[in-house]
Structure 1
Amino acid sequence: MVNDFDSASSKYDAEFTFSNIGKAQRRIVFKYLNPIIHQDKKLSILELNCGTGEDAIQFSKLGHHVIATDISEGMINVAKAKSKNVSFQIQDINTLHENSFETKFDVIFSNFGGFNCLSTTEIETFFKTASHLLHPNGKIVLVIMPKHCLWEKLYFSLKGDFKNAKRRQSTASVFANVDGIKVKTWYYNPEDILQRSKSSFKKENIKPIGFAIPPSYLEKSFLSKQPFLSILKSVDTIMTGSFWSKYADHFLIELTKL
């Protein structure tokens, strides 16, 4: 089956992964991941919505065993061409079940809004399944787009596009532009995720990703250039409290299995 993200796969790295904004936001994600992945123990990691595999490849370079999945065959083909050391697999997150893999995992990870493609019901189902896929005390780390991104409100308001300035605040799905593809998207604040995971997981950490660094669709603006980007990066080193998470472009939430 051809997936919407197949069309975006050939240019995804150029337009996001290796963009100035994409690299800056990924560095923040790894700052919070480092205490988990930089340890003597070699971890078993399941990555969901892996895209072109950039994170999975970094985990593999640290010696961890990684299975990385995505619904898009195009994304998986790009990822496979980049590394032979990761098991890349086509997988729809909504078809996961407790016997989907022959092993259990220490960490389940999903970066940059993959979970925004899931409805609230699908997220609740995922957490129930995930508890069976993890070892005791296993972790889930998700990077999700919240409802109140200040950059998005400012950008669209200045353009006079007040509908899109408020689009994240909808409880229903909206269509977001991903490299020219319209993708059905839901937005969640940290408390939404905590509410839907509380029966099986406890909160460990919530951090803003890109409070000052803007969304990737501003890559062609002066904000992604020096010295402006360096200034924005510096602001993000200060604005690290969980309070700011729902106002950032993304937030990272770390959960531990009960």
Structure 2
Amino acid sequence: MWALCLSALSRRQSLAASGTMSLPESGLAFERIATTYDADLTDSPVSRLLRAQLWAWLAALFPPGNYLLELGCGTGEDAIWFAQRGVRVLATDISPQMLAITAQKAAQHGVGHLVQVQLLDLDRAEAWQLPERAFDGVYSNYGALNCTANWSALGAALAHAVRYGGCAAFTLISRFSLIETCWHAAHGNWRVAFRRWRGKASARIGAISFPIYYPTARQFRRAFGAAWRLRKLRGWGIFLPPSDLYGALARHPRLLRLLGAAERLAAPLALSAYLADQFWIVLERRCEF
């Protein structure tokens, strides 16, 4: 199964390289860092702390036996964790290289039969052909949904694909991050300190730039549509910093442990979602009868 997936993804990569099949700028950017993504980000001490907290939340939301859709799976870290708990996952991404790594890692961990991969463009949600009410839920972590502003079409597509009563759980990079603003302002980097406040900025990976959108939680919830109702909202990354500051904090393990403890205490507080680097929002698919 994994060999077939990898072969299909390799053909897609060849098409993308030849121009027959075009990837958006964000897809091209993440193609370039796919092979080093785990070493640079996934395996960093800060990321491990944040992910452990997120996994605890997700475990309470999606039990073993569920079938989930993941948007922006990256190198498959979350999909593999779910599969090891007996959850089936359709892991999707815009980067063929990321999907190939996900399939390979799932096979290496012995859960290749529980993790499928599929190329999916968030900017073309209205063209998706996902099966109707096939999924028990959907999740997306680490700001994948900030790479699009197509949230209304996304909400409609997922309302079609997720069963009534199923949940959508997303982390999105927030409009305001207290720790990012304070850190960069203290270092005189005013442009970075306030880059999110306009709701849109440009991200750069290597020579490739692409837009990043910063919705408020209210803006995102409204755009997602009336088919969904709010269940939970909390902050993620209140005291632990954004990824561009991981390296600075990783050199101070004692401080990192203290901030991790503070993070766990502060996350359930109502105000946390408006101060954190990212907010975690859980929406429930409404019944239509």
Structure 1 and Structure 2 fold alike (TM over 0.5): yes
User: What does residue 48 of structure 1 align with?
Assistant: 71
What is the DSSP-based 3-state SS (H/G/I as helix, E as strand, rest coil) of the residue aligned with 1:59?
Answer: helix
Which residue is equivalent to 1:124? 152
Map of 2:189 onto structure 1 = 161
Alpha carbons 1:153, 1:165 under 8 Å: kept: yes
Q: Given the superposition, is the C-alpha separation of residues 179 and 50 from structure 1 closer, same or farther in structure 2, using an over 3 Å criterion?
A: farther
Moved more, 149-158 or 218-227: 218-227
Residue 63 of structure 1, CA deviation:
1.2
- Cα distance in 2 between the residues matched to 1:155 and 1:74: 34
Q: Does 2:108 correspond to 1:108?
A: no
- Matched with 1:188 is 215
1:201 and 1:255 in contact (8 A); partners too: yes
Q: Encode CA deviations 1:35-93: one digit per residue, 9 max, x unaligned.
A: 11235xx1110001000000011111111121000000111121122013210112112
| 2:273–2:279 CA contact under 8 A, matched in 1 | yes
Query: Which of residues 239, 254, 266 is equivalent to 1:212?
Result: 239
Most deviating of 182-191 and 216-225: 216-225
> In structure 2, how many angstroms separate the alpha carbons of the residues matched to 1:36 and 1:246?
22
Residue 156 (structure 1) shift: 1.5
2:163 match: 135
Q: What does 1:70-81 correspond to in 2, within 5 Å?
A: 70-81=93-104
8 Å Cα contact 2:72/2:94 also seen in 1: yes
Match of 2:41 in 1: 16
More relative contact order, 1 or 2 (CA 8 Å, 6+ apart): 1
Q: Which amino acid aligns with 2:55?
A: F
Q: Secondary structure at the match of 1:52?
A: coil
- CA deviations 1:98-122 (Å, max 9, x no partner) are 8623461011110000010111xx1
Decide which structure has the larger Cα Rg and report it. Answer: 2
Q: Is the 8 A contact 1:148 1:248 kept in 2?
A: yes
Identical columns (%): 25
For the pair 1:7 / 2:35, whether they are aligned, the reply is no
Pair 1:34-2:66 in alignment: no
CA distance in 1, matches of 2:250, 2:44: 12
> Is structure 2 residue 201 aligned with structure 1 residue 174?
yes
Partner of 1:233: 260
Provide the secondary structure at the position in 1 that maps to 2:166.
strand
Classify 1:125/1:183 alpha carbon distance in 2 versus 1 (closer, same or farther; 3 Å).
same
From 205, 215, 230, give the equivalent of 1:203.
230
Task: Kindly report the root-mean-square deviation, in angstroms, between the aligned alpha carbons of the 2 structures.
Answer: 1.8
Whether the 8 Å contact between 1:12 and 1:179 is mirrored in structure 2 is: no
Quick one: distance in 2 between partners of 1:71 and 1:21?
25
TM-score, length basis structure 1: 0.92
Residues 46 and 249 of structure 2 are in contact (CA less than 8 Å); yes or no, is this contact kept in structure 1?
no
Contact 2:146 2:213 in 1 (8 A): yes
Distance between the aligned counterparts of 2:207 and 2:188, measured in 1?
21
* Residue identity opposite 2:66 in structure 1: L
Change (3 A) 1:222 1:118: closer
Cα distance change on mapping 1:33 and 1:167 into 2, 3 Å: same
Question: Is there any run of 5+ residues in structure 2 with no aligned partner, and where?
Answer: 1-15, 17-22
Larger CA deviation: 9-18 vs 235-244: 235-244
For residue 189 of structure 2, what is the amino acid of its counterpart?
A: D
Count how many residue pairs are aligned between Structure 1 and Structure 2.
253
1:176–1:144 distance in 2 versus 1, CA, 3 Å: same
Q: Deviations 1:181-200 (Å, cap 9, x if unpaired)?
A: 53310112211122212411
Name whichever of 207-216 and 100-109 sits farther off.
Answer: 100-109
Any conservation in 1 of the 2:231–2:284 contact (CA below 8 Å)?
yes
Distance in 2, matches of 1:28 and 1:234, equals: 11
TM-score, normalized by length of structure 2? Answer: 0.82
Gaps in structure 1 of 5+ consecutive residues: none
Partner of 1:87: 116
